[in-house]
Amino acid sequence: MKPVKFFVGILLAAPLLAACADRWDTKGVEMMSSSGDKFQQTLHREYTKLAMMEKGEGDWEDAAYFVERAKMSAMGESVTPEEISMRDLPSDTVDELTAARGQLVSALASDAAKRKPFSAAFAQAGFDCWMQEQEENIQPKDIKACKEMFQSGISALALAEPMAEMPKKAESMPKPQRRATLFSCP
């Protein structure tokens, strides 16, 4: 009787495990064709990179979060910068991140995303990355790299010309550090 119960258990668990696996499907989201504008296409690409980085670290929750944002961007949906209240941030970082988000939201409310889609998307993805890393507050190099990514993008929005290519600093983001995590699929 035990083998039958085991087999039934596997059959019942398979759809749940498949649903969880889709949440972390970085390859699938990377292969999605983007129906959005240049801003959304760039967000799709940058969020996919962030999802892959978080998945490489074993941070399943944040990998799933960035996969979802990448999917939304690829489908042409509006994806706004993360709200400050969405993260449990160290209190000494809230003011700086709030000011940065305000600066970003103001830039996006103008025609920045249309005039300089790469710069705008780079700033937004950098900001969301910064928020995520700052909440963890355990990888100073990653926090710095994400903050610099945001600053590069937001600075380029203020310039007369859009960014022509990805800044060198973003290409040298630190390798993901492995962290012990418990398997969970909320």
Instruction: State pLDDT tens for residues 105-145.
Output: 999 998 887 899 999 999 999 999 999 999 999 999 999 99
Of 134, 175, 173, residue with least CA distance to 152: 173
pLDDT of residue 154: 96
pLDDT of residue 184: 42
Query: 36 with 44: CB under 8 angstroms?
Result: yes
**CA 83, CA 64: separation in Å to the nearest integer?**
17
Higher pLDDT among residues 41 and 27, named by residue? 41
- The gap from C-alpha 125 to its chain's centroid, in whole angstroms, comes to 6
Q: How many CA atoms lie within 13 A of 16 on its CB side?
A: 8
Helix (H), strand (E) at residue 125:
helix 117-136
User: Which of the pair, 17 or 121, is modelled with greater confidence?
Assistant: 121
Q: In the predicted model, what is the mean pLDDT of residues 48-53?
A: 89
pLDDT, position 28 = 61
Q: Using CA atoms of 36, 42, 43, 49 in order, give the dihedral in degrees to the nearest 10.
A: 130
Counted residue by residue, the chain has a size of 186
Say how far apart CA 59 and CA 62 lie, in whole Å.
6
User: What's the pTM value of the predicted model, to 2 decimals?
Assistant: 0.76
Question: At residue 26, does pLDDT exceed 70?
Answer: no
